[in-house]
Structure 1
Amino acid sequence: MTTVRSAAELLAAEIRDQGPIPFSRFMETALYHPEHGYYRSPRDPFGTAGDFYTASQLQPVFGRLIAAVMHQRRAELGDPERFIIVEWGAGRGELAEHLTAFHHYALDVGRGSAPPRFEGVVFSNELFDALPVDVVRIQDGVASLMLVGRQDGGFVWTPGPPVPEEWHAYIERVRAIFPPGEELWIELPVRLRDTLAAMAAPLERGFIITIDYGYTEPELIRFPRGTLMSYRRHRAVEDVLRDPGEQDITAHVPFTHLEACAASLGLVSSPLITLTRFLMEAGEPDQFASALAAADEHEALRLRLQLKSLLFGMGETFRCIAFRK
């Protein structure tokens, strides 16, 4: 038996045996395969030595702000005796030390479990952008799924079957945003609703709060070629089919569709806001004054830089949306 040593070898064998595969299958294997997936690698993808930063790496500032948000949400629910936080896509678990005042469960994609029923908050940071998507190309007015095949030893896009009927309305809404006749590449968020439903299912009463980057439908006009992107060593890589398992793959979150999915699940959406506004509303404006005053010069500078990155860097790029149940 041949030993498979990488996600690339695994995908190449699958395509050889079955023919071209949907991009969602490619992305799922590349990111989440138990042995060879990017997020399952012993190499840490986060931080300076990895491929990208997230807000969760800006500790302790981000953790303190999120803890303040959780205290606010608990108060809004009437201070239930057992207030639980379930964090989806917990990564390295940086938030845990800041949430010790709560019952906190840290889940990763495909790993861990939440209590069967609870009151509290389901929280995620950069979860939805890493969910597998399918890809559609609209050319000469015809929409086709784009599959992943093999050619000359590499992975390539290849036209596939017509788009499933369940996605026709979604594609027509997107198509209407662009000038007639323009070639378009569109991501289909095929895992989004099921993921949101799984997050909401055990929540008896409370909130789902998610932080991510994405677009509303009118903003999609900026992305006629779609939003798929890979990241490696802090550099953007346009070829998302290159080196599966060795680089991150992301797609912007379609917030308008996310809100529609939430409504279909009986959730009530709050307005979509910037991460800056979300964090500025998390407690008192001077809540870090005492920490800055007590810190030495080096630590105080580090805290100020973290605040600056969160409020004026990531804070304007990332958005936050909450759903109440």
Structure 2
Amino acid sequence: MSGLVRARLAELLSAQGKLTFAEFMDIALYHPTAGYYNRPEMTIGPGGDFYTSPMVHPIFGACVARQVWQMWNLLGKPDPFFVLEMGAGVGAMAVDFLRMAERDAAFYRAVRYHIVEQGAALRERQQAAAEAAGQRGKIEWFETLGQLPGGQVGVIFSNELFDALPVHRLGKAESGYVEFYIEADGNGYRETAGELSDPQLVALVDEATLTQLQPGERFEVCPAAGEVIEAMGRLLERGFVLTIDYGNLAPDVHLRHRKGTGVRAFWKQKLTEPLERVGEQDLTADLDFSLLIRRGEQAGLQEVGFTDQMHLLGGNGFLQKVAELQKRAREHMDLMADEELHKMLALFMPQSLGEVFKVLIQAKGLEAAALKDKIGALTFSLDE
């Protein structure tokens, strides 16, 4: 299937001479039938190229459901209650979310669960997972965000969505900025510097960060991230947006990659070179959460708080489940409980995924300042 990706790239490179990295990344990941995320043999999980948190343990989806349940309460328990998952992977999060939601009959009855998934192959896998869990009739699927009507009251959430959106690779020059393009190089590809494809790309980075960059240093920008967060904001009349992803706030997210390591490729759970195995490996880049905050404000989304995955899980029942498993392992010599604990703690511990993944909560139609001390992810403390 990667031959179709290479053929499309060859066609464009022949016509244009070079492509922005965003164009290259978009084709590699999202070619309609052969892009990495749209291949029938899409490989996430065991034997695949990477895991997502919902696939590590069901507690992840359960904790997200509990956080959304809390948001439902803060919104006055609306019925119907709009829930939208953006980019649902293989469907594990949706299944675990709805299983947890069933514990509150009124909440489960109110939830209208939607998934936006651009890839037909992934939609089929999500639908199969939902069918197997008896939740198929509770979920409605869409290919694009634009297919959903506005005026919604509810929560939009995503896990590792934004880090897979195409990025432009830029650099600071002695005078101004350059962009790094992709050109053909025999049977492969090479990078070359040139003028910016769009002068407005630099405006996606805050001025304070730009002043800290030195000539020769590099950074990535993601126009699509700003467009998506604005579209989410426009979709809501009242509610929350919950974003879980790799990345950080500016300037840290840009300065830590200024030597050119901001884009990563994964093949069989190992780091590889981004220009290799095109269409066969994952490409990802850290998310600039500050961009989501700034652009979200243009669509009425106000920042409620910024934290990490450890606090999201800890504030939504994670440690209670850990205590239950520890008791089971201790009292019954349950080796399965020990294995389950190991998986769960990988999601939570700071030295593992707990601090790697950041969490941004935004709200619309609510007083953001008054919400911070009412949301579990933002009030959790290990000292309690």
The match for 1:159 among 193, 204, 215 is 193
Shift of 1:45: 2.5
The match for 2:230 among 197, 211, 214 is 197
Q: Does structure 1 retain, via aligned residues, the 8 Å contact 2:208–2:251?
A: no
The match for 1:324 among 337, 340, 363 is 363
- The number of residue pairs the alignment matches comes to 320
Residue 231 of structure 1 corresponds to which residue in structure 2? 266
3-state SS of the aligned residue for 2:73? helix
Shift of 1:142: 3.7
Give, in whole Å, the separation in 2 of the partners of 1:109 and 1:195.
13
Residue 104, structure 1, aligned to residue 113, structure 2: yes
Shift of 1:165: 3.0
Cα gap change, 1:284 to 1:302, in 2 (>3 Å): closer
Q: Does structure 2 retain, via aligned residues, the 8 Å contact 1:93–1:106?
A: no
Q: Unpaired runs of 5+ in structure 2?
A: 99-107, 120-142, 365-384
3-state SS of the aligned residue for 1:36? coil
Give, in whole Å, the separation in 2 of the partners of 1:202 and 1:52.
31
Q: 1:77-116 alignment to 2 at 5 Å? A: 77-100=75-98, 101=108, 102-109=111-118, 111=143, 115-116=148-149
Shift of 1:263: 1.6
Q: Does structure 2 retain, via aligned residues, the 8 Å contact 1:65–1:283?
A: yes
- Once the two structures are superposed, residues 69-89 of structure 1 have per-residue CA deviations (whole angstroms, 9 ceiling, x without a partner) of 121111111111111210001
3-state SS of the aligned residue for 1:10? helix
Cα gap change, 1:173 to 1:165, in 2 (>3 Å): farther
Residue 184, structure 1, aligned to residue 217, structure 2: yes
- Which amino acid in structure 2 is aligned with residue 106 of structure 1? I
Residue 300 of structure 1 corresponds to which residue in structure 2? 337
Percent identity over the alignment? 29
Further displaced range: 255-264 or 278-287: 278-287
Q: Does structure 2 retain, via aligned residues, the 8 Å contact 1:231–1:247?
A: yes
Residue 72, structure 1, aligned to residue 47, structure 2: no
Further displaced range: 8-17 or 218-227: 218-227
Give, in whole Å, the separation in 2 of the partners of 1:120 and 1:291.
33
- Once the two structures are superposed, residues 188-225 of structure 1 have per-residue CA deviations (whole angstroms, 9 ceiling, x without a partner) of 21111111122222222111101001122231322212
Structure number with higher helix proportion: 2
The match for 1:309 among 333, 346, 355 is 346
Q: Does structure 2 retain, via aligned residues, the 8 Å contact 1:292–1:303?
A: no
Give, in whole Å, the separation in 2 of the partners of 1:109 and 1:137.
31
- Which amino acid in structure 2 is aligned with residue 248 of structure 1? D
